[in-house]
A and B are shown apart, each in its own frame.
Chain A
Amino acid sequence: MKLLDISDLRVTFRSPAGNVRALDSVDISLDAGDSCALVGESGSGKTVLGMAIMRLLPSNAIVEGMVHFGGLDLASLGDPEMRRIRCGEIGMIPQNSAMALNPVLPIGRQVTESLVLHLGISQKEAEVTVLTLLHRMGIPDTDHALKQYPHEFSGGMRERVLVAMVLACNPQLIIADEPTSGLDILVRHQMLGLLREQSRDKALLLITHDLGSAHVLCRRIAVMYAGEIVESGPTEKVLSMPMHPYTQGLLASIPSAGLHPIPGMSPSPGTFPAGCRFCDRCHSVFDRCRVEHPPLKTIDGIRLVRCHRYG
């Protein structure tokens, strides 16, 4: 049985301007110990996907489809059970470290909070566990660190504290939302090392637009565009031999590949064209692409592509 099984997930947002479909028919599955990267740009829907799994979307979001975790249908769970899952079973490392920590509470309190709430142990016992955890994270002077406040830490240290908070309850699945964006090179390097080490025996879902970190951390990769998955497969293969024109364009637009930009702009949710959503920007578009929306096809048994070029 798969640890995480998402099938036909669709997310629509209700807005005064009408309903907007942000995520369309997404299928993802992860075994325990597996790792998958969701790669895409703003508007691709990858953040929405992460939040849909955690059931953290705002109230105007309509979620359809199935999200199964460890055999449980997450949509059917009540709030208290979902909260327990959110901490103990699925851990989400949020995007913006500066805003994710409470500025008026010392670090020690924040990290032990989840342990105290979910395992029911006392503050003192939690602190002991946390001390070892922080030490593993490479945070120096851990006794003193427990009493310090977020603003006394550098950005890189705060990221580690966040990772510590998430790992404190030993979740089976880690969802990391843009863990390396905005980080300096050296800090990013340390963060990648940290994530790689801590996710060895857990399942990892990495949401990012940083292709490098996808390559370092994940065995599989799924490229998202305009709310759907357009290509997926083993990371090494997809990045060295991309099949979908968007993936090819993305790889060609990297500075060291020559900075060849993809013309045009990603369509925002609600303005997706009929037919293939990438047709306006594709360099090898057929007439068929503008009219018929391509389904996801399996190639060579392990790769999936959503493009008319492949049949």
Chain B
Amino acid sequence: MSRGLLFRACCVVLLCYVAVAVFAPWLAPYDPLAVTGKPFTPPDKAHPLGTNATGQDILSQMIYGTRVTLLVGFGAALISCTLSTGIGVLTGYYGGILDEVSMRAIDIFMTIPLFPLILVLTLFFTPGIFTVGFLMGILGSTHGVRIIRSQVMSLRQANFIEGARAIGAGDLHIISRHIIPNILPVVTVKFVSSAQNYLLMGVGVSFLGLGDPLVVDWGQMIQAAYSSGGFALGLWWWLLPPGLAVVGISLALALIGYSSEDEINPRLEVSQI
């Protein structure tokens, strides 16, 4: 399968997920938190994916869960990428003492594994999935800073940047017109991979029960299924859908990153023998 085709197919898949999240109220047959049927019913006409331990419709929960999961994942990625781009550009471009101090601070942060750190922090803050997302974004940005910083540093040596300074362009002009457009490919790829990362992390956090119990998302669903004895009772209609949904979007994001390498980068060289 050619890369272009793969890229487009995965984008379509991603758009489906986003569409489900956006149009949730119209797509879900019931309110996800309302008890609409007998508990533990397998899929039937009234409940295409059956009901859970309290009698809530699983399909509606899945649909509404898309919102939270995607919001946390992409929201965290957006915060993280904006922050890491900002810090990376400033430290890479200006260098000096700002750079040295920031890098030492980031080095220290990077030694702390992100997931356990998030777990510890949520115990101290009010547990809430959106808080978790916010924290992930802030703390996770340290990983991206180095990548972007090194791109900026190598760009800064490029002759066209010096040329821009030579024609009298100010720093802001150089950063916005020359540096940022040229690091966009890296930032975009980082965004996609961060989104995948944070999405999985968010699911993991709510699977461990640290999210908001009132907010329905896929991690929470898997956790509820597990703690209600879903594995022992063979409640496949409760366990599989959220799990497959997570795998699906994770795979789609990963493949988008993989297949977009060619599309995002302009051809920088035409090689001739």
Contact = CB atoms under 8 A, between A and B. Distances in A.
Q: Do chains A and B directly touch (beta carbons under 8 Å) in the complex?
A: yes
Interface of A: 13, 22, 42-43, 47-48, 51, 268-269
| Nearest 8 Cβ contacts at the A-B interface | A48-B273, A47-B273, A43-B272, A22-B273, A42-B272, A268-B272, A51-B273, A13-B273
A233 B4 CA distance: 52
Interface string B243-273: 0000000000000000000000000000011
Interface of B is mostly: loop
Contacts of A51: 273
Interface of B: 272-273
Nearest to A58: B273
A214 B151 CA distance: 42
B166 to A, nearest CB: 25
Nearest to A13: B273
A266 to B, nearest CB: 11
Given A22-B273, A51-B273, A268-B272, 6 more contacts: A13-B273, A42-B272, A43-B272, A47-B273, A48-B273, A269-B272
Contacts, number: 9
A42 B273 CA distance: 8
A12 B273 CA distance: 12
A47 B273 CA distance: 7
Contacts of A268: 272
Nearest to A45: B273
B200 to A, nearest CB: 36
A253 to B, nearest CB: 21
Nearest to B270: A268
Contacts of B272: 42-43, 268-269
B51 to A, nearest CB: 55
A51 B273 CA distance: 10
A268 B273 CA distance: 10
Nearest to A57: B273
Contacts of B273: 13, 22, 47-48, 51
B269 to A, nearest CB: 14
A22 B272 CA distance: 10
A48 B271 CA distance: 13
B3 to A, nearest CB: 14
Contacts of A42: 272
Nearest to B273: A48
A50 B247 CA distance: 52
A268 B272 CA distance: 9
9 contacts: A13-B273, A22-B273, A42-B272, A43-B272, A47-B273, A48-B273, A51-B273, A268-B272, A269-B272
Contacts of A22: 273
B184 to A, nearest CB: 27
B201 to A, nearest CB: 37
A195 B272 CA distance: 28
A94 B2 CA distance: 35
A22 B273 CA distance: 9
B218 to A, nearest CB: 43
A306 B186 CA distance: 51
Nearest to A61: B273
A269 B271 CA distance: 12
Contacts of A48: 273
Contacts of A43: 272
Nearest to A48: B273
A205 B272 CA distance: 22
A47 B271 CA distance: 13
Contacts of A47: 273
A181 B272 CA distance: 17
A12 to B, nearest CB: 12
A42 B270 CA distance: 13
A61 to B, nearest CB: 9
